[in-house]
Amino acid sequence: MSDLFSPLSLRDCEIPNRIAVSPMCQYSCDPDGLPTEWHRVHLGSRAVGGAGIVMTEATAVSPEGRITPHDLGIWSDEHAEALRPITEFVREQGSVPAIQLAHAGHKASKTRPWDGNVPIAPDEIDPDGADGWEVLSPSPDAYPPFSGDRPAMRKATQDDIEGVIEAYRDAAERSLEAGFEIAEVHAAHGYLLHEFLSPVTNRREDDYGGSFEDRTRLLREVVRAVRDVWPEGKPVFVRISGTDWLEDRDSWDVDQSVRLADDLAELGVDLIDVSSGGLHPEQDAPGGPNFQVPLAEAVRQGSDAAVGAVGGITEPEQADALVRNDRTDLVLVGREFLRDPYFGLRAAEDLETDAPEEWPIQYRRAVR
């Protein structure tokens, strides 16, 4: 038995192996945020393909929290109902269904990547005729946009902040209704919660900006709200950017990530999913195989939290070594799962686990 195929127990949740499908936006909804057949096939195929966890794309907790008008949402009971057949199918394949709960902050109201990823102003429409909206930010003047013109931004008021916390709480309740086992709070990649964490984008002088304690307050309040409604036996993950990759200025870095991980573990977070960057166009990020693993490793060593590593993990032996050498507890695989939906099954074969038994019965004649 390889280490990659050892089960991971978090609370009452038994994850059959250490491979998770990393959250990946599909931009394939109508502007109502409801899943389509695309989502059922996309997520279902990766469950068939042997992933221990199948995580949804960033799923917006409110309509204005979408990156594009075509993002998945979980802001009404209708969304929960529409997602249920997907979680049921994922579970039937032996995978654990997880949902990433997101608010895009100032990176909201954009066209889809294949339409240029540029802001859609509140009085404009995207190429499919979907409306733009005003986006929310901790400090609108703090940073330049990644692409296109500056979006129409509004500084988050106390009411907005309370609304965001409530939206996360409601979204978690609906995720439970929809049948998800794991809720992941998205606090990475320059979206709203990360914008509050980083001194680069948070210049507030109220209780939500300034010191480490104040910049992390919103995330802690969101996590508390989610944990409040998420059952004791089910895990909560948080995805963070381990660093902003902006060493030339006061920014979010790995030391703060380690400190945050301990705070989050105390609030009942079971695993920190450690990604990086995405906050500022001047980021100086490395790339290549395992490029974010040292960040996950630092969080794992410096805090009480279990971690997930992600980024440039494409080979079964590579993924297995990360678990075997205690560098991470979970491996999240993104683009390789787009290239090969059966990455999990292939890994089982390559690493010589009892592969044929892992394949769905419908497919076994292909592997015996």
Ligand X SMILES: Cc1cc2nc3c(=O)[nH]c(=O)nc-3n(C[C@H](O)[C@H](O)[C@H](O)COP(=O)(O)O)c2cc1C
What residue ranges bind ligand X (CB under 6 A)?
22-25, 57-58, 100, 186, 188-189, 239, 275, 310-313, 333-336
CB-based closest residue to ligand X: 334
Separation CA 194–CA 307 (nearest Å) = 18
Separation CA 105–CA 303 (nearest Å) = 28
CB of 252 to ligand X, least distance (A): 16
Q: Are 50 and 348 in contact (CB under 8 A)?
A: yes
Helix (H) or strand (E) holding 60: strand 53-60
Beta bridge partners, 73, equal 60
Instruction: Output the CA–CA distances (angstroms, integers) from residue 36 to 73, 79, 220, 339, in the order listed.
Output: 12, 11, 33, 21
Q: Which of 27, 191, 208, 342 is catalytic?
A: 191
Beta bridge partners, 10, equal 13
Separation CA 93–CA 101 (nearest Å) = 23
Q: What is the CA radius of gyration of the chain?
A: 19
Q: Which is closer to ligand X, CB of 52 or CB of 209? A: 52
Q: Which is closer to ligand X, CB of 294 or CB of 356? A: 294
Helix (H) or strand (E) holding 10: strand 8-10
CB of 20 to ligand X, least distance (A): 10
What sign does the CA torsion over 284, 289, 295, 296 have?
Answer: positive
CB of 307 to ligand X, least distance (A): 14
CB of 78 to ligand X, least distance (A): 21
Q: Are 267 and 224 in contact (CB under 8 A)?
A: yes
Separation CA 194–CA 71 (nearest Å) = 19
CB of 288 to ligand X, least distance (A): 10
CB of 190 to ligand X, least distance (A): 11
Q: Which is closer to ligand X, CB of 22 or CB of 175? A: 22
- Burial pattern 197-216, b for ≥16 Cβ within 10 A else e, equals bbbbbbebeeebbeeeebbb
Q: Which is closer to ligand X, CB of 132 or CB of 312? A: 312
Q: Which is closer to ligand X, CB of 169 or CB of 189? A: 189
Respond yes or no: is residue 191 known to be catalytic: yes
Q: Which is closer to ligand X, CB of 188 or CB of 254? A: 188
Q: Would you call 355 exposed, middle or buried from its count of C-beta atoms within 10 A (0-12, 13-18, 19+)?
A: middle
Catalytic residue annotation: 191
